[in-house]
Chains A and B, each alone.
Chain A
């Protein structure tokens, strides 16, 4: 408060209830401090995101020439198992033989297609190479690796994959048919470099 000893500065605390110079200074200083603190916090949080070395492992090339119909191959991409299955004609027929509307997850989950593409077998299988199915082999429930790649594995009622953790079952196009998994197995970005070679990522 102004007294006889301290000279009165009306811009600091006038009596009319209007915002004063001091209010402006306080809010501005507080605002800058908050933004500064947030900016200083960001590196502490962002350091946990995948680093440059993790991002650099973005693509991998796979030779599939030795995978016969009915066989499957598992490779690693970005630390995740990739299921590559060379499907038989019966398996393809089985995957086509029902309505997409009956699925738990009606979307294709194919990184090579638009997000809203329906989960038809055509949208799940490799483009123009119907027998080939390339998927991230991680159950969409809680991240276990489903069984079904090895010859002797139990493949579930739909002949695709069976997750041992919580019992999710996938069909021969990798679509979830029995929960608790909420989504179809994801399809990574990939392309065929030749008949023998796939590039994933």
Chain B
């Protein structure tokens, strides 16, 4: 949040740089002393984890690109060459492939955290919108990256997803076909398609990095939300980002990396599909096409709708609806902690997303289809009905007077000594 700069250039060279490009001042003010609510829990550590994952994906990706061959004939073999011949190639590729999954684990937790604690509400709407934009860029990047090994799943995932655009033929005849051939660079998915997906897969992470910079900028204007969802009322309710949250984020990151490493070393193909170790064959569709796990809920929504155009529209809407969340939620209270009715709908929504994920991996018939439709209905109803209506009819629980009160008790207001682990002076608030 906005606070006066406390940067003191201590050497001549720092003063010289500070007068020309105050980058050290920005780093100091925004990442060292930045006032951060003292009550952030571990769900707040995923922003740092995501930053790490982006850097890790770019680092492993850039070196993999030194060995990968983006041609119809060379792609599959070059990936196998990376696995067998390139020094540490197996590690780099598994870290990159598993890294994509871990990236999505983190981003989904981060998104649900924002939903639960109302982090999208004023004044953080732009912050939220930039986050949704990052999510969409991540989805596009992951999809393009998955095509590159040019196995059966790669090829048919590209075929099915690019064909989604042909549904526009139902709006303007010929438009969809024209668009799809433009995307393919031919009359079917082939070498030109692979080559351009590779080019864009290299570009998009840097677009993500750019939007991440904006995301952090937009975060540092209002400052962090916190588990109570109420505003920071005094500087006493904050601690400097360093060392308090560099340590907390760092610890969470280590635990996250531990899980990441466990998957890379012990189950690197756990989330992969064995069919992707069969080279792409345009004449043979695998009996059961499934996307990567992190797309399964969206895939289930696509298949729940029996009409091609509306199925695609529902798929698109399931993500773009997130942009409107700040205005769909009518509640005056940010944190779901203090929303006794909404809480139940929220957890039902989490369950719905998990259920759609399971249904997306199953064949679209019989009961799977019935449940797919029920959960798809609730997915949209959560945003379009629950958020506006519950916000209006619900009577929230009483909010605490300050973000420290639920922990330290109201007697703090009377000026009692803070517990010894609290480094700050006695907290005064509510005045």
Which residues of B in the span 364-406 have a Cβ within 8 Å of any Cβ on A? 364-365
Interface assignment of A79: CB less than 8 Å from any CB of chain B:
yes
Flag if A79 contacts B183 (CB, 8 Å): no
Chain A residues, Cβ within 8 Å of B190: 79
CA distance A81 to B281 in the complex (A): 11
CA distance A164 to B156 in the complex (A): 12
Interface assignment of B25: CB less than 8 Å from any CB of chain A:
no
Chain B residues, Cβ within 8 Å of A144: 156, 159-160, 285, 289
Flag if B188 contacts A80 (CB, 8 Å): yes
Which residues of A in the span 158-179 have a Cβ within 8 Å of any Cβ on B? 163-167, 179
Stretch from A28-36, A44-52, A59-67, A87-95 that touches the partner: A44-52
- B: residues with CB less than 8 A from A are 156, 159-164, 166-167, 170, 181-190, 192, 196, 282-289, 303, 306-309, 311, 363-365
Flag if A181 contacts B308 (CB, 8 Å): yes
Flag if A182 contacts B288 (CB, 8 Å): no
Interface assignment of A106: CB less than 8 Å from any CB of chain B:
no
CA distance A16 to B181 in the complex (A): 55
CA distance A51 to B181 in the complex (A): 11
CA distance A74 to B282 in the complex (A): 12
* 13 A-B interface contacts by CB (under 8 A): A50-B185, A54-B186, A54-B187, A80-B188, A138-B188, A142-B308, A143-B159, A144-B160, A167-B365, A180-B306, A180-B307, A182-B170, A182-B309
What is the size, in residues, of chain A's interface with B at 8 Å between Cβ atoms? 27
Closest to A144 in B: B285
Closest to A146 in B: B285
Flag if A165 contacts B285 (CB, 8 Å): yes
Flag if A48 contacts B186 (CB, 8 Å): no
- In addition to A80-B282, A81-B283, A142-B159, 6 A-B residue pairs with Cβ atoms within 8 Å of each other are A48-B185, A51-B192, A78-B188, A79-B282, A141-B308, A182-B307
CA distance A167 to B308 in the complex (A): 13
CA distance A138 to B184 in the complex (A): 15
Interface centre among B196, B282, B287 (most CB of A within 10 A): B282
Smallest Cβ distance from A58 to chain B, in angstroms?
Answer: 10
Chain A residues, Cβ within 8 Å of B185: 48-51, 54
Q: Would you list the 5 A-B pairs with minimal beta carbon distance, nearest first?
A: A79-B188, A143-B163, A78-B187, A144-B285, A142-B160
Chain B residues, Cβ within 8 Å of A135: none
Chain A residues, Cβ within 8 Å of B156: 144
Flag if B308 contacts A145 (CB, 8 Å): no
Flag if A180 contacts B308 (CB, 8 Å): yes
Flag if A48 contacts B311 (CB, 8 Å): no
CA distance A122 to B239 in the complex (A): 79
Smallest Cβ distance from B119 to chain A, in angstroms?
Answer: 36
CA distance A164 to B287 in the complex (A): 6
Flag if B186 contacts A78 (CB, 8 Å): yes
CA distance A79 to B309 in the complex (A): 25
Chain B residues, Cβ within 8 Å of A165: 160, 285, 289
Smallest Cβ distance from A114 to chain B, in angstroms?
Answer: 14
Smallest Cβ distance from B204 to chain A, in angstroms?
Answer: 16
Closest to B307 in A: A180
Contact of A143 with B308 at beta-carbon distance under 8 Å, contacts A54-B186, A79-B282 already known: no
CA distance A48 to B137 in the complex (A): 21
Flag if A50 contacts B365 (CB, 8 Å): no
CA distance A80 to B177 in the complex (A): 14
Flag if B282 contacts A49 (CB, 8 Å): no
Interface centre among B170, B196, B283, B288 (most CB of A within 10 A): B283
Chain A residues, Cβ within 8 Å of B303: 166
Smallest Cβ distance from B38 to chain A, in angstroms?
Answer: 51
CA distance A141 to B183 in the complex (A): 17
